[in-house]
Amino acid sequence: MNKFVLAVAAGLLASTSSYAGVTEEMLRDDTASTGDVLTNGMGRHLQRYSPLDTLNKENVKNLVPAWAFSLGGEKQRGQETQPLVHDGVMYITGSYSRLYAIDVKTGQEIWQYDARLPEGILPCCDVVNRGAAIYGDNIYFGTLDARIVALNKDTGDVVWRKKIADYKAGYSYTAAPLIVNGLIITGNSGGEFGIVGEVQARDAETGEMVWTRPVIEGHMGTYKGEESTMTGTLNATWPGDMWKTGGGATWLGGSYDIETDTLVFGAGNPAPWNSHLRNAGQPLDDNSGDNLYAASRIGINPENGEIKWHFQTTPREGWDYDGVNEVVAYTNRAGEKRWATADRNGFFYVLNREDGAFVRGVPFVKDISWAEGLDDTGRPVFSEGNRPGDPSASADGKKGEVIFASPSFLGGKNWMPMAFSQNTGNFYVPSNEWGMDIWNEPITYKKGAAYLGAGFTIKPNYEDHIGSLKAIDPDTGDIKWEFKNDAPLWGGVMTTAGGLVFTGTPEGEFIAFDDETGEKLWSFQTGSGIVGQPITWEQDGEQFVSIISGWGGAVPLWGGEVAKKVNYLNQGGLLWTFRLPKQLAEN
């Protein structure tokens, strides 16, 4: 064989090997592989648990800064990313749709990619981005103009760029993508603009669409370029044509359980917020007003996008209680396969992992007013007097009865991810104790315009705290311990086999707690509010922890009286990385 043929063959082999650099097997084993972090959630089950125990309750006091990386410029806003680590490189996203590759040993920038955002983007709740995905030779992330971009992980060069939806209609994208069996799977954002929630799956190598699954009944899915099946049954739970602009944005992304081969995505609020337009007077015992599949968790076949099951947390939703919060796959102390999710509506749910069936649900915040509880199917028992009034029934037809509802529309828990500890069997849930005055108003749909039909003012429920990190036993619903914080909690949580729980506060404090007692064992002031997501990994025999600091997100934009309480907090954009030196690991 001549040298030219050998060179070509070697090049083809190198290309194939390069694309297989991060494989499905590596993604599957992400939690156990402690030298890197390859997935959002530190595992596609989203447990955010590390088996590392070098850093533990006794020596966490010795954790020290290793380096810090500034995102630079004036594009600060809220920094909600979760870093990824692979082959000596850390990848983070930043506000305004930026992506950075950083040398993990030195904190030096390797490359930076800034998406060219058009004028007129319509992000409802800050210009955030929550992270990237890695597969083969590519790093992937979404942009505020509702696109998904594949970049070469080594150079930052664009490999392909695809449109998720029309940003001029109110669509955007802020979540970390999910990769399963060579498919890159995305949701969409824009629930306040009368969009339609959807999950899309593309070939990760080419970007070509494989399937789509709208999450509002009446819309048709696709598979390999052809119509597949309708979501739900047309007009079964939606009146007239309202399903066409029905909301249900899938804005937080999804999880994946390899044991049942199931994707789970949450669907946000139905549109508009004014539930009287969507429920059209249907009685409470009539499910025809439920507005499926908004405010739901949906199990999806990753191969073809077909819906396996659904569980609606807030049927007849009228308070903006999005159903998007992450659904975590775990195995309980009895060996039973379960899903768990803490909803904006204030209830913590446990579902059967095989079919999504309701197992139990308990309140995890203190003052739920919109429902008296849950029945044995998990359906809420409504406090109907706590639904915002119908404006058409008012004297002037302009404003319905104002009611006080708790939790507020920002939720008992919002996007900020909870964590599960395989160490204790408990969940650690970042929650907030707040309520709102809310009322309904008349509204008609207009493309690209806000489609609410409601007004609101958020108020704290207690003088001494809003934020509350709670350790919850999913088998009983008992709260094992609670850490109260003056400002709302808006950042992610991580647990470790070393018995630690990490999270941050808007006041800038990055904290490690004892997972059994809630005792604060270590803290570090980062200089700006923490609304990001921590990770940990090992390198050269030492354990490292990273968190991004940079105040922003929905609270200062939508928080009413609460926003005034935290308006002194400074924005920022600094990625902190800490290490436990070898010589201090035994102390």
Helix (H, G, I), strand (E, B) or coil at 333: coil
Cβ atoms of 215 and 198 within 8 Å: the answer is yes
Cβ atoms of 158 and 139 within 8 Å: the answer is no
Superfamily of 3-68+85-584 according to CATH: Quinoprotein alcohol dehydrogenase-like superfamily (2.140.10.10)
Measured distance CA(63)–CA(73) in Å, rounded:
29
Cβ atoms of 39 and 47 within 8 Å: the answer is no
Measured distance CA(369)–CA(436) in Å, rounded:
11
Measured distance CA(353)–CA(256) in Å, rounded:
11
Closest CA to 409 of 384, 432, 430, 441: 432
Token pair for 255: 């999880």
Token pair for 489: 């909690």
Query: For residue 557, what are the CA distances in angstroms to 81, 405, 563, 566?
Result: 19, 20, 7, 11
Residue 271 β-bridge partners: none
Query: For residue 361, what are the CA distances in angstroms to 303, 318, 413?
Result: 30, 20, 15
- Buried/exposed code over 480-518 (b: 16+ C-beta within 10 A; e: otherwise): bbebebebbbbbbbbbbbbbbbbbbbbbbbbbbbbbbeb
For tokens 């004028």, name the residue: 119
Q: Where are the domains of the chain?
A: 3-68+85-584
Q: Where are the beta strands (DSSP E) in 328-388?
A: 328-331, 337-342, 347-352, 358-363, 371-374, 380-382
Measured distance CA(423)–CA(439) in Å, rounded:
44
Please name the residues in contact with 93: beta carbons below 8 A apart, sequence gap of 6 or more. 81, 99, 100, 129, 130, 131, 132, 141, 176
Residue 331 β-bridge partners: 337
What was the pLDDT predicted at 272? 97
What was the pLDDT predicted at 145? 97
pTM of the model: 0.95
Token pair for 129: 């981005």
What was the pLDDT predicted at 443? 95
Query: For residue 390, what are the CA distances in angstroms to 194, 403, 441, 451, 459?
Result: 20, 11, 8, 16, 22
Token pair for 283: 């009685």
Type and span of the H or E element at 211:
strand 209-214
DSSP collapsed to 3 states, 345-358: CCEEEEEECCCCCE
What was the pLDDT predicted at 110? 98
Cβ atoms of 317 and 275 within 8 Å: the answer is yes
Type and span of the H or E element at 279:
helix 275-279
Hey, how many other C-beta atoms are within 10 angstroms of the C-beta on 349? 24
CA 167 to chain CA centroid, Å, is 20
CA 581 to chain CA centroid, Å, is 33
What was the pLDDT predicted at 560? 80
Q: Where are the beta strands (DSSP E) in 401-492?
A: 403-405, 419-420, 427-432, 434-440, 454-460, 467-472, 479-485
206 φ, ψ (degrees, to nearest 5): -110, -20
Pairing outcome for strands 183-186 and 198-203: antiparallel
Cβ atoms of 95 and 78 within 8 Å: the answer is yes
Measured distance CA(278)–CA(237) in Å, rounded:
9
Cβ atoms of 288 and 237 within 8 Å: the answer is yes
Query: For residue 152, what are the CA distances in angstroms to 15, 115, 124, 375?
Result: 13, 15, 30, 50
**Residue 257 falls in the annotated catalytic set:** no
Query: For residue 1, what are the CA distances in angstroms to 4, 5, 9, 16, 304?
Result: 8, 6, 10, 21, 44
- Of the residues 36, 257, 290, 320, only one is catalytic, namely 320
pLDDT tens-digit profile, the chain (587 residues): 343 333 333 333 333 333 459 999 999 999 999 999 999 999 999 999 999 999 999 999 999 999 999 998 767 789 999 999 999 999 999 999 999 999 999 999 999 999 999 998 988 889 999 999 999 999 999 999 999 999 999 999 999 999 999 999 999 999 999 999 999 999 999 999 999 999 999 999 999 999 999 999 999 999 999 999 999 999 999 999 999 999 999 999 999 999 999 999 999 999 999 999 998 666 666 788 999 999 999 999 999 999 999 999 999 999 999 999 999 999 999 999 999 999 999 999 999 999 999 999 999 999 999 999 999 999 999 998 999 999 998 888 899 999 999 999 999 999 999 999 999 999 999 999 999 999 999 999 999 999 999 999 999 999 999 999 999 999 999 999 999 999 999 999 999 999 999 999 999 999 999 999 999 999 999 999 999 999 999 999 999 999 999 999 999 888 888 888 888 888 889 999 999 999 988 86
Measured distance CA(406)–CA(412) in Å, rounded:
8
Cβ atoms of 297 and 315 within 8 Å: the answer is no
277 φ, ψ (degrees, to nearest 5): -70, -30
Please name the residues in contact with 84: beta carbons below 8 A apart, sequence gap of 6 or more. 36, 37, 38, 39, 40, 90, 91, 92, 131, 132, 133, 134, 139
